[in-house]
Amino acid sequence: MEIIRKLQDMQSRAVDMHQQGKTIAFVPTMGFLHKGHLSLMREGRKRGDILVVSIFVNPAQFGPNEDFDKYPKSFEQDADAAKKEGVDILFNPCKEELYPERYQTYVNVEKLQNYLCGVSRPLHFRGVATVVTKLFNIVKADAAIFGEKDYQQLVVIRQMALDLNLDIEIKGCPIVREPDGVAMSSRNSYLSEKDRKSAVCLYQALNEAKKLVKEGVKKSSEIIMTASALIRSYPGTEIDYISIFDPETLEEIESVEELSRMAMAVRLGETRLIDNILIDPRKKGSRA
C-alpha cells in the first residue's frame, strides 16, 4: 500500500492510473477506522481497479463549539487496517494544503443542508460538500462510497455531484452495527460506560417506529412521540431532533404512506450520536 500526503502527488498518480485505463474507487474518511469503514472499503474494492482511501479530519465541517480538537486519531492503526483490506493508496493530506492561507471558496447545497443535522450544525454540510468536492477533484475517482449512517451527508453529496455534473458514481452502503444495535461511529469512543448503555435507545426507538408502521400507525407525530418517550426513558439522553421525511428531498412528512426515512440525533453527555432507518409501509417489515 502506498501512502501519499501531497495533493500534487495524488493528482499525478490518479492521472497515471487513468492513462493506464484503470478505474479508481474512493472511500473518504476522517480516520479512527472501524468495521463500518472497512465495509465501505470492501465495496470499493468491487467498484474500481484501484482503491483509494483518504484520512482527513476536515476543520470546515466542525462548528466553533464542536469536537474538532479532540476528534480521535489513530493513523498507524488505520494504515494497518487499510492495508489488510487491500487498499492501494492511503491519501493523508494536510490542512495547510487543502485550506491554504486566504482560502475562500465553499460549496453550498442550498436546500438539503438545512434539514435534520443542518439545523443545529448550520455550517456542517457546507464544509462536507466543499472538502468532498476538493477530494473528488484530487483523487479523480470514478466511484465514491459512503455509509448510510450519515444519511443526510449521502443525499447532499449525491445532489452536489448531480448539480456540478461530476462524472462519478456515488454509492451508499448499509449501516454496520454493534451486536446490541448501536450504529458504529468513531464518536462512540467518547461515551462513558453509563452513556454507552443508554446509546441503544436510538436503535430501539427506530425499531419501535418500524413496528408501529407495520401495525398500521401512519401519523408521523404519533410515531415520533413514542420514539421520544422511549429515548427519554434512558438516563442522560437529550434529543436534538427526530424526523420522518422523504428520502430524496429530506422534507418532513405528516403521514407514512410511501417509502420514508426516520432519522434522529441524540446527545449522551457531551457526545452527539445519529442514526436512521428506512421505513416501507408497503412491506411487512423494513430494514435498517
Q: Which active-site residues does the annotation give? A: 37
What sign does the CA torsion over 231, 232, 236, 241 have? positive
Residue 173, all three cell numbers: 452502503
Distance (Å, whole) CA 71 – CA 16: 34
- 34 alpha carbon, distance to own chain's centre: 13
Q: Is 168 exposed, middle or buried (0-12, 13-18, 19+ CB in 10 A)?
A: middle
Q: Please list, in sequence order, all residues whose beta carbon lies within 8 angstroms of the beta carbon of residue 11, skipping any fewer than 6 positions away.
A: 138, 140
Strands 260-268 vs 237-245: parallel, antiparallel or unpaired: antiparallel
- 9 alpha carbon, distance to own chain's centre: 27
CA angle 188, 144, 80 (to 5 degrees): 55
Distance (Å, whole) CA 178 – CA 159: 30
DSSP state of 175: P
Distance (Å, whole) CA 174 – CA 100: 35
**C-alpha Rg value of the chain to the nearest Å:** 19
Residue 135's CB: how many other CB atoms inside 10 A?
Answer: 23
What is residue 219's three-state secondary structure? Answer: strand
